[in-house]
Structure 1
């Protein structure tokens, strides 16, 4: 599986868009939550296939539908589903790690440091609208650590999540860490570090729920 790496340079922009609560952001979320009136048919075979051809259901050991990756954003009303979101990669080990000035990891190897601080996520549906709801998940959200191009990557899936009404929705993921974590790949804090506490890890990802054909 080719991992998708979330960089903190984008996290700052995501946090501003999600947390500022501006009228423009709320209007956009409300537009995305408009109902879908037509009956459509998402793939009945709900295996989520990543751009490199990996079956994410098999890779993560999940039998239900996975929502979030670009090719996996449609489901039927009534289905429970899991929220997939970008993986997090680190340097291979502490001997190769490079950290910003003043940062001291809690564990020698950067991935062990991340795992020791990862507390879970909060998944928010339809953020900024009257239909907003959230579910909180713990460390079990980290489903698998696997290497790619010599680097370890942590891959996530939160759920199962309850079904949503027919229509267009958004799904936003907030991550929780017990303390700041840096990946050991550079000395630039804005590129290689995640803050402690809860922070927006993704923007509002569009999802669509359809009624099944009679």
Structure 2
């Protein structure tokens, strides 16, 4: 299977807003008013930042992202989102190269992939008594119309939020289901350039750890 990769783009820095107020002058005879407690800042989970950028910002995800090697930890009692490497293809059908006998269903390779993508299945703790399986259709998870820094189109599956399991180490595995074989237009080697029809593992068993949520 072709090596898919996590893709990012240059994203503007986020602006941070500050709270302000106007102090009122109390009469000299009045006792000093006690200061109202400041609102506790809303906790924000750490972002998934790789060499290619901040994936939370890129994909507008507020929950913890689990997927890349640098992003394999989440807090207890919080929700997390599984992200997998995006699937990129040749820019267009013009000049695309395919294995012998393969005919795409759409002129452009990325449209061919999107049209054949059916669903993704997420397996938590595969092969253990705690195994749980969740399947989501294309319209629920597949983000399309994306372009990487190299100018190539890609699509990426981003899960809905999951509840964190109990403290400790767990695994998460992602399967894709395609309606038919898809090839990316980059070459003629089926094992490197194509995804099979049906259901198949898109990732291995990626370990991640659930840790106690910090007090502050």
TM-score (norm 1): 0.77
Residues 119-134 of structure 1: pairs in structure 2 closer than 5 A: 119-134=118-133
- Distance in 1 of aligned mates of 2:201 and 2:67: 15
Q: Structure 2 CA distance, aligned partners of 1:44 and 1:75?
A: 12
Q: Distance in 2 between matches of 1:55 and 1:147?
A: 14
Please give the per-residue CA displacement for 1:72-110, whole angstroms capped at 9, x wherever unaligned. 111111111110111111011001111111111000000
Match of 1:175 in 2: 176
CA distance in 1, matches of 2:177, 2:93: 23
User: Structure 1 CA distance, aligned partners of 2:51 and 2:123?
Assistant: 25
Instruction: Quote how far apart the aligned CAs of 1:150 are.
Output: 2.7
In structure 2, the partner of 1:61 is 60
2:190 matches 1:201: no
Matching residue of 1:166: 167
Aligned positions of 1:3-22 closer than 5 A? 5=4
Give the whole-Å Cα distance in 2 for the aligned partners of 1:212 and 1:47: 15
Deviations 1:8-42 (A, max 9, x none): xxxxxxxxxxxxxxxxxxxxxxxxxxxxxxxxxxx
Give the number of the structure whose residues are more often helix, by fraction: 1
| Whole-angstrom CA distance in 2 between matches of 1:88 and 1:191 | 12
The CA distance in 2 between the partners of 1:207 and 1:133, in whole Å, is 15
- 1:50 paired to 2:21: no
Q: Separation in 1 of the partners of 2:60 and 2:119?
A: 18
TM-score, normalised via structure 2 length: 0.76
1:191, CA displacement in angstroms?
Answer: 0.9
Q: Is 1:136–2:135 an aligned residue pair?
A: yes
Matched residue, 1:84: 83
Where structure 1 has 5 or more consecutive residues not aligned to the other structure, the ranges are 7-42
Q: Which has the larger radius of gyration?
A: 2
How many aligned positions are there? 174
Superposition deviation, residue 62 in structure 1: 1.1
